[in-house]
Structure 1
Amino acid sequence: MWRDASHYDRRGERPCVLCGHPTPLRSHRREPAHKTCAEQWLTDHPGDDRFLSDPPARRSADDHA
């Protein structure tokens, strides 16, 4: 839950990975994200819990064929 203190970073604000505006909040993966931005992203991407800042999946050598 976003009310949990673990979502608040006392070290300061960083740009939200979704909108770019400063926020002291962090996602469950410790990414800077506003609660409303994260909720909107999840609404727009049902069934997916990855944010835009997640690294892309690595491709194996077999994928290049």
Structure 2
Amino acid sequence: MFDDEMLDRMSLFLLAWRRYLGHDHHHVDYRAALMKRYRITRDTADAALDALRNPSQRAA
């Protein structure tokens, strides 16, 4: 569903977002951040997060 380049960009965006929020922010809504940044649906954001959590399944 996602190519490696897109997943890498999403990963870097989420890392930057978490750093921007700082250490005081314990819960980061990654799904909402992806949905807003990339204008994707909840299901697509969930699929992207699953792919980011399981790098071994990226090529599948």
- The TM-score, its normalising length taken from structure 2, stands at 0.30
Q: Highest CA radius of gyration, 1 or 2?
A: 1
Larger helix fraction of residues: 2
